Chains A and B, each alone.
Chain A
């Protein structure tokens, strides 16, 4: 009776020990699995952030492309402006020359009018003198009395003619003066209005500013923006590759899990074996005798899933010290 109680107590303790070891191992699986899943989530978070950044960069590259298109358009515009300037320059030169010729002609015409005015002034003076002479002739004709009457008539007519000549001269001079003044005024106004040199200067300033803009845009866009985009993009490629490899390496948890599961299975069988062994020890009944321990070890061996498990078994159980520890199984094999 006492023997039976002892057997029960030992078996209970052995069950507890098996339970304890199994729980520890199962907990190890749970802990490693939980940690691995958290790590995967962190890697996923890292990858998604890098992906987001890459997409932003792709958008930026796309905007950059738009930006380059704008630059190209500006360049084309500048080329067109330069072409326009090339066409305009000889036109402006020609226009300037024609204008100068026109000004010179107007000036010459004004001079001629002035000369004519002087000539008319001479005619007016002569008319005044003729008038004076005619007056003298009239006085002398009066002194001559009846004999000078015919002469007096002629002198009077000459005087009247000279007065008319003087008046007409005065009118023509006045008109010439008005025309000359008007022409001078128009000439000055024309000179003020036609500031052809400044227009040309404006075009040249615009050309140089466009060229400055071109070099400024080129310097900023190509050297700074694209270098930055390229570097960030390259860094993200490194992140992708690293995350991908880490996701592969995390598979170690599955290898560990399967190893531990095999150990738990083997412990379970060992526990059952121990139960049989104890029962056989306390019993005289031959049927209680446990099966051969070699069968137990063979069962252990059958459960192994990795070469390292089999090598360990051979070294520990079979004392095979010369077992090749290196796993030469190809990691990747395509059929």
Chain B
């Protein structure tokens, strides 16, 4: 059975490119354009196997989203994929339970390798 990845990003380009790349590698993809929308989906019962989130987003940013979603998805890997290079934000994400920090742009095959590392059995 294919694994589900929740992509949280306010960029249409990001959502579309990640969706196609993940679909190519056999993943099922769910999307949300900000942290709040993603949180609502999880609260409604969505149980993704992996979350990929941006940091700088309207309504609810990625850091706030991790803070709110981690108590619900306790063991789900959360990868932060962002343009943000500020060390303080990376450290904060790590402290809140993020699994990894990736700075855009990341080559598709590198991203797939990271996903395979954090999602055993894929």
**Could you tell me if A334 and B100 are in contact, using CB atoms closer than 8 angstroms?**
yes
Say yes or no: is B112 at the interface (Cβ < 8 Å to chain A): yes
Partner-binding segment picked from A101-109, A215-223, A253-261: A253-261
Say yes or no: is A136 at the interface (Cβ < 8 Å to chain B): no
From A37, A306, A335, B101 is in contact (CB under 8 Å) with A335
**Could you tell me if A37 and B84 are in contact, using CB atoms closer than 8 angstroms?**
no
Partner-binding segment picked from B16-24, B27-35, B36-44: B16-24
User: Using a CB-CB cutoff of 8 Å, which residues 91-115 of chain B contact chain A?
Assistant: 94, 98-112, 114
**Could you tell me if A254 and B107 are in contact, using CB atoms closer than 8 angstroms?**
no
Number of inter-chain CB pairs below 8 Å: 119
How many residues of B are counted as interface, with CB atoms below 8 angstroms from the partner's CB atoms? 39
User: Using a CB-CB cutoff of 8 Å, which residues 47-105 of chain B contact chain A?
Assistant: 56, 82-87, 90, 94, 98-105
How many residues of A are counted as interface, with CB atoms below 8 angstroms from the partner's CB atoms? 36
| Shortest beta-carbon distance from B122 to chain A in Å | 14
**Could you tell me if B104 and A244 are in contact, using CB atoms closer than 8 angstroms?**
no
**Could you tell me if A37 and B109 are in contact, using CB atoms closer than 8 angstroms?**
no
Which residues from chain A contact B106 at a C-beta distance below 8 Å? 248, 251, 331-332
From B24, B56, B94, B100, A240 is in contact (CB under 8 Å) with B24
In the assembled complex, 29 residue pairs joining A and B whose CB atoms fall closer than 8 Å, in A order, are: A33-B12, A33-B13, A37-B12, A40-B16, A44-B20, A244-B108, A244-B112, A245-B107, A245-B108, A247-B17, A247-B18, A249-B105, A250-B17, A250-B105, A251-B17, A254-B14, A254-B105, A305-B82, A305-B83, A306-B85, A327-B85, A329-B85, A329-B87, A331-B106, A332-B114, A333-B102, A334-B117, A335-B94, A335-B99
- Contacts A243-B24, A333-B90 aside, 17 further interface pairs with beta carbons under 8 A come to A44-B20, A243-B21, A244-B25, A244-B112, A251-B13, A254-B9, A254-B11, A254-B105, A305-B56, A305-B84, A331-B106, A332-B100, A332-B101, A333-B100, A334-B99, A335-B94, A335-B101
Binding site for A on B (CB under 8 A): 9, 11-14, 16-18, 20-21, 24-25, 56, 82-87, 90, 94, 98-112, 114, 117-118
